[in-house]
Amino acid sequence: MQGKVGVGIMGCGNIVGQYIAGCRQFEILEIAACADIDAGKAANTAVEHGIPRALTPAELLVDPGVDIVINLTIPAVHAEVSLAALRAGKHVYSEKPLATNTADGRALLAAAAERGLLVGCAPDTFLGGGLQTCRKLIDDGWIGEPVAATAFMMSGGPEPWHPNPAFFYLAGAGPLFDMAPYYLTALVNLLGPVGRVTAAARISFSERIATSAARFGERLPVETPTHVAGLLEFAAGPVGTLITSFDIKGGSNLPRIEIYGSAGTVSVPDPNTFGGPVRLRRTGAAEWSDVPLLFSDQVGRGIGVADLAYALRDGRAPRAGGDLAFHVLEAMESLLLAAEQGTHITLQSSPARPAPLPLGLLPGRLEP
């Protein structure tokens, strides 16, 4: 495949604008069409952003200008929408999570493999300047041999600000499925796959009260753990601690992610961003050093789609690929199961670390 790769966007909700802007930074991508079960949203998105065709979901799947379907629907239908796209012969890039359970995730990857199609999945924040700089520091030995990691997502929950917060408290969401993809993907990119997990989890409050203007006073039933404290034994040896919570009502001073090595520590930026700050403190140093970013932070959601398009054109594996997303999904599912059963769980999947980005890329390109 040569030239531009056509993409079609399925799901024109809150996040679509970021994807359109992010994709348009890359010369390889051409946004051909958009669709939504709500025809009005697809039409508005097409007009607002100058997309040539607003289509029904069924029409998008057979549009000849679409090589990759970007699945920006809600998590509960990610798997069925991605599967339908694969069955129609399209490559897929999905928002996270890949699916809400590993059975659906496995079926999705099998359907792609059978057809020789590629699957990519968010988050792609690990392709941003902040997390790529951390990867290079670790790979080049600046902290010695990694021995441990901590990752904390300590929040009070989305009900004070989100216009529609109910789904965050239902099965398939919670702080783990909603936010851990950013943290786990960053950790696997830095340290390699997770071998075994265990966890403790609780529902601290049996219902939540929405306080956003749109839903003020609405009671939200809670059916999934809202505080999940997990241990991750990485296959290469490091031990990780991951806490994701919606139950932190008084704030927290904990960092987002730190990686500890035999010769120093790297302080990793918020993995839900593409930028810094990246800080390094080597054994014996009195202070932290601010590390200049070695890769661009002027990218956004869409860099993973561009990488998938290059993968397609050049016949290589995508960095934000389905195997990585499946591993993250398996880790999340296993953390909840381990907490429920009071056991350790060994993961079955063990993807290779995604290739690091090369230095010196020009804006709008992901290859020299």
Residue 72 within binding range of ligand NAD, rule CB under 6 A: yes
Q: Which region, judged by CB under 6 A, interacts with ligand NAD, from 8-16, 225-233, 338-346, 353-361? A: 8-16
In sequence order, the β-bridge partners of residue 281 are 265
φ/ψ of residue 24, rounded to 5? -70, -10
Choosing from 5, 12, 69, 149, the residue that interacts with ligand NAD (CB under 6 A) is 12
How many Å apart are CA 307 and CA 356, to the nearest integer?
A: 12
Q: Confirm if 31 and 12 have CB atoms less than 8 A apart.
A: no
Q: Which region, judged by CB under 6 A, interacts with ligand NAD, from 70-78, 198-206, 228-236, 315-323? A: 70-78
Q: Confirm if 223 and 169 have CB atoms less than 8 A apart.
A: yes
Category of 213 on φ-ψ map: left (φ > 0), alpha (ψ -120 to 50) or beta: alpha
Choosing from 38, 207, 290, 367, the residue that interacts with ligand NAD (CB under 6 A) is 38
Residue number, 36 or 330, with CB nearest to ligand NAD: 36
Could you tell me the CA-to-CA distances from 44 to 25, 52, 136, 163, 365 in Å, in that order? 21, 12, 42, 20, 29
How many Å apart are CA 189 and CA 320, to the nearest integer?
A: 10
Choosing from 22, 57, 240, 354, the residue that interacts with ligand NAD (CB under 6 A) is 57
Residue 173 within binding range of ligand NAD, rule CB under 6 A: no
**H-type helices in the chain, by residue range?**
16-24, 39-49, 57-61, 78-87, 102-115, 129-139, 174-191, 303-314, 322-341
- Residue 331 C-beta: closest distance to ligand NAD, Å: 17
3-state SS assignment for residue 174: helix
- Residue 35 C-beta: closest distance to ligand NAD, Å: 6
Tokens of 146: 């990694």
Choosing from 1, 15, 21, 352, the residue that interacts with ligand NAD (CB under 6 A) is 15
The contact mask relative to ligand NAD for 269-308 (x = CB under 6 A, - = no) is ----------------------------------------
How many Å apart are CA 167 and CA 159, to the nearest integer?
A: 10
- The interface with ligand NAD within residues 119-158 (CB under 6 A) comprises none
Q: Which region, judged by CB under 6 A, interacts with ligand NAD, from 1-9, 31-39, 99-107, 331-339? A: 31-39
Residue 37 within binding range of ligand NAD, rule CB under 6 A: yes
- Residue 191 C-beta: closest distance to ligand NAD, Å: 23
Residue number, 74 or 214, with CB nearest to ligand NAD: 74
Residue 61 within binding range of ligand NAD, rule CB under 6 A: no
Using DSSP bridges, classify how beta strands 5-10 and 68-71 pair: parallel, antiparallel or unpaired.
Answer: parallel
Choosing from 95, 159, 270, 307, the residue that interacts with ligand NAD (CB under 6 A) is 95
The identity of residue 79, as a single letter, is: A
- Residue 71 C-beta: closest distance to ligand NAD, Å: 8
Q: Which residues bind ligand NAD (CB under 6 A)?
A: 10-15, 36-38, 41, 57, 72-75, 77, 81, 95
